[in-house]
Amino acid sequence: MWRARWKGNVSPTVRWRKSSYSGEESNCVEVGRAPGVVSVRDSKAPRSATLAFTPRHWSTFLGSLTRSETGRPA
């Protein structure tokens, strides 16, 4: 089970990245990394709250998505 927490402000050292599959009009999220944390935010509202994961929990979350797409059990 992965866990996440909401944060109001994220360190200015976070480097945000939006998927290359996202268009300008798409509803997208951006992922930002900083030491010890992976943050997710709404690309249309970058000053709103972010969802923060530990790197281990982020990896678990992404792995569950990959297994889901390939039909393998989680």
Domain count of the fold of the chain: 1
Q: Which is higher by pLDDT, 20 or 2?
A: 20
pLDDT at residue 35, rounded to an integer: 86
Q: The whole model's pTM is what?
A: 0.67
CA dihedral 34, 36, 40, 44 (to 10 degrees): -30
Q: Is 67 a member of any domain?
A: no
Q: Could you tell me which residues come within 8 angstroms of residue 33 by beta carbon, excluding any fewer than 6 positions away?
A: 14, 15, 39
pLDDT at 2 over 50: no
Q: Is 51 a member of any domain?
A: yes
The pLDDT tens digits for 15-48 are 888 877 776 666 788 999 888 889 998 888 888 8
- Asked if 30 and 21 count as a contact pair (C-beta separation under 8 A), the reply is no
Q: Is 15 a member of any domain?
A: no
Mean pLDDT of 3-20: 66
pLDDT at residue 28, rounded to an integer: 84
Q: Is 41 a member of any domain?
A: yes
Q: Is 69 a member of any domain?
A: no
